[in-house]
Amino acid sequence: MREHLQRLLRDRKLMGVFCRRSNVGSFLAGYLIGLYDEYALFLCFDPYGQFDGYCFKRIENIFRAVTDSQYLQALEKLIEKREIADPFGGAEVTLKDVFSRLAKEKVLCSVELFDDADTMTYGFITDVSDDGIVMREIDRDGKNDGAVCFLPQDVTTVCFDSRDEKKRRSLMSE
């Protein structure tokens, strides 16, 4: 899959990526903008062609990558022209680098563990170490909901700047 993704990165084609074997209808649509050690970074779009954030997906979990489908051709017509650029400037980053930057810039993000949507948690990264990542959780109403610690090796997806994170951020009372 990595070699195929490297070709798709060079081609800069809109693609559909399937990662959840338990829900094969679940996918993201976007442009592959970076390949790192274990993760691929996507610039994502919703079904209406609106920007829907950035998403890191563990490469080993990607089991299908589609290009040029009728759905994607229609979606491409809806997408407003925007720069397709890596927010990390093309530099080689590790997951720890990503979490450190999200913590430093106080970016609300979502994290999925074990390729399972039921483990999705939203919040702010407060501590990054080799022993674990600590996140201050934010519930769907924008309220603090405690803290969670997870191991970096269990992370299958990290998203930020999507509609879901923006909604929670807007609902927060500072």
Same domain? For 73 and 103 the reply is no
pLDDT of residue 22: 65
Same domain? For 12 and 68 the reply is yes
User: Of the residues 78, 108, 137, which one is the last residue of a structural domain?
Assistant: 78
pLDDT of residue 24: 58
Provide the domain limits for residue 51: 2-78
**Count of structural domains, the chain:** 2
Residue 86 lies inside a defined structural domain of this protein? no
State how far the Cα of 129 lies from the Cα of 90, in Å rounded to an integer.
Answer: 24
Same domain? For 10 and 67 the reply is yes
Residue 50 lies inside a defined structural domain of this protein? yes
**Does an H or E element contain 2, and which?**
helix 2-11
Same domain? For 25 and 74 the reply is yes
State how far the Cα of 69 lies from the Cα of 77, in Å rounded to an integer.
Answer: 13
Same domain? For 11 and 53 the reply is yes
Amino acid at the residue 23: N
pLDDT of residue 23: 61
User: Of the residues 78, 105, 137, which one is the last residue of a structural domain?
Assistant: 78
Residue 83 lies inside a defined structural domain of this protein? no
State how far the Cα of 129 lies from the Cα of 99, in Å rounded to an integer.
Answer: 10
Residue 89 lies inside a defined structural domain of this protein? no
CB-based contact 168:126 (threshold 8 Å)? no
CATH of the domain at 113: 2.30.30.100
Residue 145 lies inside a defined structural domain of this protein? yes
Q: DSSP characters for 87-155?
A: TTTT----HHHHHHHHHHTT-EEEEEETTEEEEEEEEEEEEEETTEEEEEEE-TTS-EEEEEEE-GGGE
CB-based contact 20:26 (threshold 8 Å)? yes
SS3 of residue 75 by DSSP: helix
Please report, in tens digits, the pLDDT of each residue of the chain (174 residues total): 888 899 999 998 999 999 866 665 578 999 999 998 899 999 999 999 999 999 999 999 999 999 999 999 999 999 877 667 788 887 888 899 999 999 999 999 999 998 888 889 999 999 999 889 999 999 999 999 999 999 999 999 999 999 999 999 999 965
Kind of pairing, strands 108-113 and 155-160?
antiparallel
Same domain? For 65 and 108 the reply is no
Residue 140 lies inside a defined structural domain of this protein? yes
Residue 144 lies inside a defined structural domain of this protein? yes
pLDDT of residue 111: 96
Same domain? For 73 and 122 the reply is no
Same domain? For 146 and 102 the reply is yes
Residue 84 lies inside a defined structural domain of this protein? no
DSSP-assigned letter for residue 90: T
pLDDT of residue 62: 92
Same domain? For 132 and 157 the reply is yes
User: Of the residues 78, 110, 135, which one is the last residue of a structural domain?
Assistant: 78
